[in-house]
């Protein structure tokens, strides 16, 4: 079915389930077109495996346009592969050469246990959000949207933080498996907006507490997360979160 002329060797992490022991398994793929996406190359491999009576490789993916945050392959030692600013689904085979050997592993972090093959459990992120990643406003309680002017620069900064897709590449690439970039992006988005002020300090405390409870590591300012983030989320967010986190102690003492 493929129409190109690239031949590749893949070393892919196979693991039957969460408890099983995993291993890297070699696969050959042939006639790969440079216009294929990385996941389409996996489709070709999986179709082949199924036809041969083998089990296809399980991996998370959905929108295939870089926005849902599902896809999560650790390719040649980098989350989402060699190209900057893209997710796995937007990585195309033209980023590789004929004859390449490509190693594909799942995200590896204590807080992201492997479910099967390349699929991991990222529900820890949802629990961090439910601990405080919101503004407490019930439906129907809003005033007219233009009653609250927000300087463009501030709105833009909040938007940039909000661009996080929750894929977990930051955690996967961090030597400490820290989730600081993810958590700080949400903390920053809401801390930058006037709507987020009433809960600002409580929010950061609750989210950080949940982050710690999930088993994510600490931040040692290496910056790998920022370098590998497909959406360019900035380290500044971590600085902002830390400031708010320390301020929160004083604020809450004053309140108490």
Partner 1 sequence: MSALNSNIPEGELTSRWTKFKSSVALVNPSNKRNLEVIVVGSGLAGASAAATLAEMGYKVKCFCFQDSPRRAHSIAAQGGINAAKNYQNDGDSTYRLFYDTIKGGDYRAREANVYRLAEVSTNIIDQCVAQGVPLAREYGGLLDNRSFGGTQVQRTFYAAGQTGQQLLLGAYSALERQVGMGKVEMFTRHEMLDVVKVDGKARGIIARDLISGKLERHFGHAVLLCTGGYGNVFYLSTNAMGSNVTAAWKANKQGAFFGNPCYTQIHPTCIPVSGDHQSKLTLMSESLRNDGRIWVPKMKDDQRKPTAIPEEERDYYLERRYPAFGNLVPRDVASRAAKERCDAGYGVGASKMAVYLDFTYNTERYGKIEANKANMHNPDHETIMRLGREVVKEKYGNLFDMYKQITGEDPYETPMRIYPAVHYTMGGLWVDYNLMTTVPGLYALGEANFSDHGANRLGASALMQGLADGYFVVPYTLGAYLSKEIANKALPLDHPAFVEAENNVKQTLEKLINIKGTKTVDYFHKKLGLIMWDKCGMSRSTEGLKGAIADIQQLKKDFWSDVRVPGSIDELNPELEKAGRVADFIELGELMCIDALDRNESCGGHFREEYQTEEGEALRDDENFAYVAAWENKGDGTFALHKEDLKFENIKIAQRSYK
Between residue 201 and residue 240, which ones bind partner 1 under the rule CB under 8 A? none
**d(C-alpha 7, C-alpha 156), whole Å:** 44
Q: Is residue 47 near partner 1 by the rule CB under 8 A?
A: yes
Residue 211 Cβ, how far from partner 1 at the closest point, in Å?
14
Residue 3 Cβ, how far from partner 1 at the closest point, in Å?
5
Give the residue with the Cβ less far from partner 1, 48 or 222: 48
Q: Is residue 166 near partner 1 by the rule CB under 8 A?
A: yes
User: Which of the stretches 85-93, 175-183, 215-223, 246-254 binds partner 1 when contact is defined by CB under 8 A?
Assistant: 85-93
Residue 220 Cβ, how far from partner 1 at the closest point, in Å?
27
User: Which of the stretches 102-110, 159-167, 175-183, 237-245 binds partner 1 when contact is defined by CB under 8 A?
Assistant: 159-167
The answer to whether 43 and 59 have CB atoms below 8 angstroms apart is: no
Q: Is residue 193 near partner 1 by the rule CB under 8 A?
A: yes
Among 19, 151, 221, 255, binds partner 1 (CB under 8 A): 151
Measured CA to CA in angstroms, residue 125 lies from 138, 166, 221 at distances of: 23, 7, 21
**d(C-alpha 89, C-alpha 172), whole Å:** 17
For 120, phi then psi, to 5°, come to -120, 165
Taking the CA atoms of residue 214, residue 217, residue 222 and residue 228 in that order, the dihedral angle to the nearest 10 degrees is -40
User: Which of the stretches 22-30, 118-126, 212-220, 236-244 binds partner 1 when contact is defined by CB under 8 A?
Assistant: 118-126
Among residue numbers 97 through 116, which ones bind partner 1 (CB under 8 A)?
A: 115-116
Residues binding partner 1: number (CB under 8 A): 81
Residue 45: which H helix or E strand, with range? helix 38-51
User: Which of the stretches 98-106, 187-195, 217-225, 234-242 binds partner 1 when contact is defined by CB under 8 A?
Assistant: 187-195
114-116 vs 23-32, strand pairing mode: unpaired
Give the residue with the Cβ less far from partner 1, 3 or 221: 3
Give the residue with the Cβ less far from partner 1, 183 or 190: 190
Q: Indicate the SS3 state at residue 112.
A: strand
Which residues lie closer than 8 Å to 180 by C-beta, 6 or more apart? 170, 211, 216, 218, 219, 225, 238, 241
């Amino acid at each position: 079915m493929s129409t190109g002329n690239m031949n590749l060797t893949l070393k892919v992490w196979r693991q039957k389930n969460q408890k099983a022991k995993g291993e890297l398994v070699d696969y050959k793929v042939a006639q790969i077109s440079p216009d294929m996406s990385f996941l389409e190359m996996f489709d070709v491999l999986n179709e082949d495996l199924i036809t041969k009576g083998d089990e296809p490789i399980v991996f998370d993916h959905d929108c295939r346009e870089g926005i849902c945050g599902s896809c999560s392959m650790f390719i040649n030692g980098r989350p989402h592969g060699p190209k900057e600013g893209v997710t796995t689904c937007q990585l195309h085979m033209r980023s590789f050469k004929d004859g390449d050997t490509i190693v594909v592993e799942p995200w590896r972090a204590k807080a992201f246990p492997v479910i099967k093959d390349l699929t991991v459990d990222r529900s820890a992120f949802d629990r961090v959000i439910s601990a405080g990643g919101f503004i407490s406003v019930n439906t129907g309680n809003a005033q007219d949207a233009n009653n609250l002017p927000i300087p463009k620069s501030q709105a833009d900064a909040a938007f940039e933080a909000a661009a996080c897709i929750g894929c977990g590449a930051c955690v996967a690439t961090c030597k400490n498996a820290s989730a600081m970039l993810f958590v700080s992006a949400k903390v920053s988005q809401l801390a930058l907006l006037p709507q987020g002020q009433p809960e600002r300090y409580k929010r950061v405390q609750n989210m950080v507490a949940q982050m710690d409870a999930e088993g994510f590591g600490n931040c040692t300012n290496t910056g790998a997360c920022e370098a590998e983030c497909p959406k360019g989320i900035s380290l500044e967010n971590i600085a902002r979160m830390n400031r708010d986190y320390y301020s929160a102690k004083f604020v809450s003492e004053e309140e108490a």
